[in-house]
């Protein structure tokens, strides 16, 4: 049994919360999943889980949280640890970190977006092992992205909102886009709900030969090219429900190479694209693993 | 007189090289400018400058270089310190760092892109003072961008190539773009030569009321929105020849706020946009200052 410190990890999603007590993704001592309802209910149950675990496994040494957002990730800001201006009813301005800490105690903690946590998780234990900078993009109900550079998530003004970049429209695509803020941004054109709205049926029901997938690959490729030019990641991990359509990967890889047109002269793109744009190595555990990694890192920083 | 260490700095541009020996941008002991011709000629003169300075000012303690690119900025790669696949005749695969070191000696050194150096310079001494993450974009003969996070330039696979992101076309703009790689990427639509080609006259000769500027502001704003969503910078500094048209700034600020549509709920954007998107604090000295900062940092890291 590992002697690594015990970490509390939370993946706070818009539809469910996943909590764990673990030393690594391979050594999860207990895991707990509940639907995301109202903050009082959901967080109370999470707190109860951690309190119960403390009595059976002992206290955790640190806490890592990856959450849906927007979220206050700036440690020196007054909204640090909060879910902030989310469109999700009830969850605006909720002190997620503070509430969990009230159960766990004042251990070293890290609080970040779900996608930043996933980027860190994939960097440490998943498809991003061995490189310095990992871009994680999720394409599902929404689209989001996080960048980890040497295990450190990229922050700044707030946190990246990669789903909302503007990309060129494909000329014969009549769909106007469904982002309530920007209409035809990346998310507005290529999220799961956008696919469903454009084609009148759920993405999972569309056959592989359906023109939906070529169009989807085009929009994903345009966005990835922009993120490659902006961030220069050493590996790109594409997760989320839409990316479970693995037949998208070869389409995207081919198109990204075409669109970059030999401008980025790196072997990763010129000859290694199959290992450059990849599915998550941790499946849907990237976020939870990222929480563990973030917690461990917060402990190291003390 | 400062007792800070003496740093050799080079801003290696496509049209000229600027070399300096300094402890800070306010304490430049000697400066030297020459046109960029062939590597042998240009670098020999730079080396001679530094050798001469060593006899009058004493040896430098470190070296910082910001260069046009693409350039090898990964310290563990075999092309570190090289200008690599540049379209600029004669300058492909030139060992810039190694050549300068042959004159200066094996002092701690940092080698980066011109825009990363400028981002670091603006962060340390210019318009980016007081914030953690600074995005520097130059809009001139080409378009490029660099991000400094706590003074550390963002690297990865190679370095960012922010000028080559794809942005939506403005519908009634008939210009096809002039990027030899991507045609209508950001640089292909909005660099100085693109403006000149579209309107048939040099940008500096276009009056302020000319529709060129509204269109230019639109493309710049679309690109900035993407970079804000990808990088979440705390400040954006816009330099280069085209941005000397200061009347562009209010147009861009207004349009960026509109395009983000309240999605990024940060006071910097919602109420502080005039201080968020700004001209360089160091004028055209950002790159040279960045070289000094990078050199000083390399020395600290020893």
| Cis status of the peptide bond prior to B169, with omega within 30 of 0 | no
Residue A240 is assigned to a structural domain of this protein: yes
Owning domain of residue B57? 7-116+284-300
B51 and B169 part of one domain: no
Please determine, for residue A251, whether its predicted confidence score (pLDDT) is greater than 80: yes
Determine the pLDDT at residue A92: 93
| Candidate from A157, A232, A261 with C-beta closest to B232 | A157
B186 and B295 part of one domain: no
Residue A1 is assigned to a structural domain of this protein: no
B195 and B258 part of one domain: yes
Please determine, for residue B1, whether its predicted confidence score (pLDDT) is greater than 50: no
Kindly state the tokens that stand for A59.
């206290």
Report the distance separating Cα B53 and Cα A242, nearest Å: 61
Structure confidence by residue, pLDDT tens digits, B75-118: 988 999 999 988 788 999 999 999 999 999 999 999 999 999 99
Number of domains making up chain B:
2
B139 and B248 part of one domain: yes
How sure is the predictor about A57, in pLDDT bands with cuts at 50, 70 and 90?
confident
Give B180's contacts (C-beta < 8 A, 6+ positions apart). B87
Biggest alpha carbon–alpha carbon distance for chain A: 60
Helix (H) or strand (E) holding B79: none
Report the distance separating Cα A214 and Cα A53, nearest Å: 47
Other CB atoms within 10 Å distance of the CB of residue B300:
10
Other CB atoms within 10 Å distance of the CB of residue B251:
17
A141 and A270 part of one domain: yes
Residues of A in contact with B163 (CB under 8 A): 229
Residue A125 is assigned to a structural domain of this protein: no
ipTM confidence score: 0.94
A106 and A135 part of one domain: no
Structure confidence by residue, pLDDT tens digits, A8-25: 999 999 899 999 999 999
Please determine, for residue A2, whether its predicted confidence score (pLDDT) is greater than 80: no
Residue B195 is assigned to a structural domain of this protein: yes
pTM of the model: 0.95
Please determine, for residue A1, whether its predicted confidence score (pLDDT) is greater than 70: no
Instruction: Give the alpha-carbon dihedral of B81, B85, B89, B94, to 10 degrees.
Output: 20
Q: How big is the A-B interface in CB pairs under 8 Å?
A: 136
CB contact under 8 A, B157 and A261: no
Chain A residues within 8 angstroms (CB to CB) of chain B: 70, 84-85, 132-133, 145, 149, 154-169, 181-182, 222, 225-234, 259, 261-266, 268-269
Residue B124 is assigned to a structural domain of this protein: no
Determine the pLDDT at residue B11: 97
B112 and B199 part of one domain: no
Please determine, for residue B61, whether its predicted confidence score (pLDDT) is greater than 60: yes
Structure confidence by residue, pLDDT tens digits, B239-292: 999 999 999 999 999 999 999 998 888 888 988 999 999 999 999 899 999 999
Residue B87 is assigned to a structural domain of this protein: yes
Report the distance separating Cα A192 and Cα A202, nearest Å: 8
Q: Which residue of B has its CA nearest to A267?
A: B157
Determine the pLDDT at residue A157: 86
B261 and B290 part of one domain: no
A189 and A233 part of one domain: yes
Residue A181 is assigned to a structural domain of this protein: yes
Q: Helices marked H in B150-234 — which ranges? A: 186-190, 192-199, 211-231
Other CB atoms within 10 Å distance of the CB of residue A106:
8
Mean pLDDT of chain A: 95
Structure confidence by residue, pLDDT tens digits, A146-191: 999 999 999 888 889 999 999 999 999 999 999 999 999 999 999 9
B111 and B139 part of one domain: no
Residue B123 is assigned to a structural domain of this protein: no
Helix (H) or strand (E) holding A255: helix A248-260
- What CATH number did the domain enclosing B72 receive? 3.30.420.40
Q: Which residue of B has its CA nearest to A71?
A: B265
Instruction: Give the alpha-carbon dihedral of A46, A48, A50, A51, to 10 degrees.
Output: 160
Determine the pLDDT at residue B270: 86
Structure confidence by residue, pLDDT tens digits, B106-153: 999 999 999 999 999 999 999 999 999 999 999 999 999 999 999 999
More confident residue, B139 or B14: B139
A135 and A89 part of one domain: no
A18 and A88 part of one domain: yes
């Amino acid at each position: 049994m590992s002697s690594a410190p015990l970490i509390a990890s939370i993946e706070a999603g818009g539809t469910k919360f996943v909590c764990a007590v673990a030393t690594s993704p391979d050594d999860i001592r207990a895991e707990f999943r509940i639907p995301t309802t109202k903050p009082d209910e959901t967080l109370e149950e999470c707190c109860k889980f951690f309190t119960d675990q403390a009595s059976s496994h002992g206290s955790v040494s640190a806490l890592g949280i990856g959450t849906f957002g927007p979220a206050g990730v700036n440690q020196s800001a007054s909204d640090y640890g909060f879910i902030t201006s989310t469109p999700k009813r009830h969850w605006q301005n909720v002190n997620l970190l503070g509430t969990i800490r009230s159960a766990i105690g004042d251990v070293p903690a890290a609080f970040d977006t779900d996608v930043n946590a996933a980027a860190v998780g994939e960097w440490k234990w998943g498809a991003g092992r061995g490189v310095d900078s990992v871009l994680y993009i999720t394409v599902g109900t929404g689209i989001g992205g996080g960048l980890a550079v040497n295990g450190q998530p990229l922050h700044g003004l707030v946190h990246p909102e990669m789903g909302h970049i503007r990309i060129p429209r494909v000329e014969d695509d009549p769909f106007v886009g469904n982002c309530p803020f920007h209409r035809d941004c990346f998310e507005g054109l290529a999220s799961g709900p956008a696919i469903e709205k454009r084609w009148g049926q759920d993405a999972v029901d569309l056959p592989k030969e359906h023109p939906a997938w070529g169009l989807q690959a085009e929009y994903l490729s345009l966005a990835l090219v922009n993120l490659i030019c902006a961030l220069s990641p050493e590996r790109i991990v594409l997760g989320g429900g839409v990316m479970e359509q693995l037949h998208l990967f070869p389409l995207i890889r081919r198109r990204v190479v075409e669109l970059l047109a030999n401008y980025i002269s790196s072997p990763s793109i010129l000859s290694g694209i199959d290992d450059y744009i990849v599915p998550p190595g941790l499946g849907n555990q990237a976020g939870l693993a990222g929480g563990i990694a973030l917690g461990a890192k917060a402990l190291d920083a003390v």
